[in-house]
A and B are shown apart, each in its own frame.
Chain A
Amino acid sequence: MLSVLNGGIETVVEDWPGRIGYLDNGMSASGAFDNVALGLANLLVGNSPGEAGLEITGGYFEAEFGMDTVISVTGTDMKPTLNNQALPLWESVKVTKGDIIKFSHFGEFGFRAYLGVGGGVDVPLYLGSKSTCLFGSYGGYNGRKLQAGDVIRFGPVTQKLEALAGRRVKESARPRYVREWTLRAIPGPNASPDYLTEEGMDFLFSTPFKIQHSSNRSAYRLQEAQGLSFARPDGGVAGSHPSNVLDHAYAIRGTLNICGNTPILLVADGPTLGGYMCALSVINADLWKIGQGTIGRDFIKFEYCTQEEAIQARSEQRAWLSESSLT
């Protein structure tokens, strides 16, 4: 177990693929914002890649371990320390009762770090997932981000800690973090010619958009897109702006909502329906990149992708998140 000394900016329990199957009841999937970093953190400590870990956004998380176990830290480099000694990323490390882990703030690249623990984080399953949905205040640890005084339990470790410690993610298997993230995306469901002109779609697929400060686990708001060219003069009965449509289900996670002239990526805890058009959908294999996009600093660019390429990319990601990525 682990006692939280400082919850930091936003630290939550997340697994993968999250709480799927309840969109029709208005419940988003939640789940790790960066499933690749969580998956690799889990593999390092002997868990399945989708096991629950801690997602640390922004930084400043501090905790004391209440037992001997094995841990791993992946994601952005928040300069983590264990008992004030630098803690390596992308590597499993044995910790002992009383050890204190501390994180600074997000690094030069990336925005979220993940703490994997042997046996996974032990919180109750809620509708099939341990993930926290922040806006709905359910799942995870009491449906909220962690705060000082919380005690987080771990699941049982089935292997010897010594055997699990010292494992590393191969250099070639470590995700590459950048400041301009290219997300492969499929046009639609509301694309050209019905909702945007071809020029409007070309603009979306060729412009880097800065991530706005208001972005969070529900939505990543991008800079206003003045170059958007709509195919309709207005939204008809749905509203005066051509981005308005009659309320419909949103293709979360990863659809690009066009809200007025503002493109907004609907992500982990995103809304399941609403009245704005969605011009493109980020492929499943690239969702993790959004979670590492740093607010107020990084840019997002969309790259056209076919359905076949998306399926192939998902298959490749499954292979990536396996023991073959470790050494």
Chain B
Amino acid sequence: MEKTVQAHMPGLVARVVVNEGESVHKGQEVAVINCMKTELSVTAEWAGVVKKILVKEWDEMEVGSPMVVMEVN
């Protein structure tokens, strides 16, 4: 089943820290958003495999913007 990790705050993508095909565990950081001059971790709510990365550095995020598609176990 596909699930999408979404931005939880508005900001700019600082970096994506996983690669397509990589296995991640629940709670693992998958990306970082720059917001209010701090870095906020975006974490996976599920264990699974990264299927597609939808964002790149400096992309502008709103709450709910899709960031990473996962194939969830």
Contact = CB atoms under 8 A, between A and B. Distances in A.
B54 interface: no
A296 B8 contact: no
A60 B8 contact: yes
B66 interface: no
Contacts of B38: 10, 216
Given A9-B40, A213-B35, A297-B10, 8 more contacts: A9-B9, A105-B8, A213-B34, A213-B36, A215-B36, A294-B10, A295-B10, A295-B35
Contact of B10 (A10, A60, A213, A216): A213
A214 interface: yes
Interface of A: 9-10, 57-58, 60, 105-106, 213-216, 294-297
B40 A296 contact: no
A324 to B, nearest CB: 35
Interface in B18-73: 34-38, 40, 60, 62-63
Interface of A is mostly: loop
Nearest to A145: B38
Size bracket, chain B contacts: 10 to 19
A58 B63 CA distance: 10
A214 B36 CA distance: 4
Interface string B1-19: 0000000111110000000
Contacts of A57: 36
A213 B9 CA distance: 10
A216 B37 contact: yes
Closest 9 CB pairs of A and B: A296-B10, A216-B36, A213-B11, A214-B37, A216-B37, A105-B63, A58-B9, A213-B12, A295-B10
7 contacts: A105-B8, A106-B63, A214-B37, A215-B36, A216-B37, A294-B10, A295-B10
A296 B9 CA distance: 10
B62 A296 contact: yes
Given A58-B9, A60-B8, A296 B60 contact: yes
Contacts of B40: 9
Nearest to A213: B11
**Which of A58, A106, A213, A215 has the most chain B CB within a 10 Å cutoff?**
A213
A236 B36 CA distance: 33
Nearest to A296: B10
Contacts of A294: 10
Contacts of B34: 213-214
Nearest to B35: A213
A295 B36 contact: yes
B70 to A, nearest CB: 21
Nearest to B11: A213
A297 B61 CA distance: 11
A118 B59 CA distance: 43
Contacts of A105: 8-9, 63
B30 to A, nearest CB: 17
Contacts of A106: 63
Nearest to B10: A296
Contacts of A213: 10-12, 34-36, 60
B60 A10 contact: no
Nearest to B12: A213
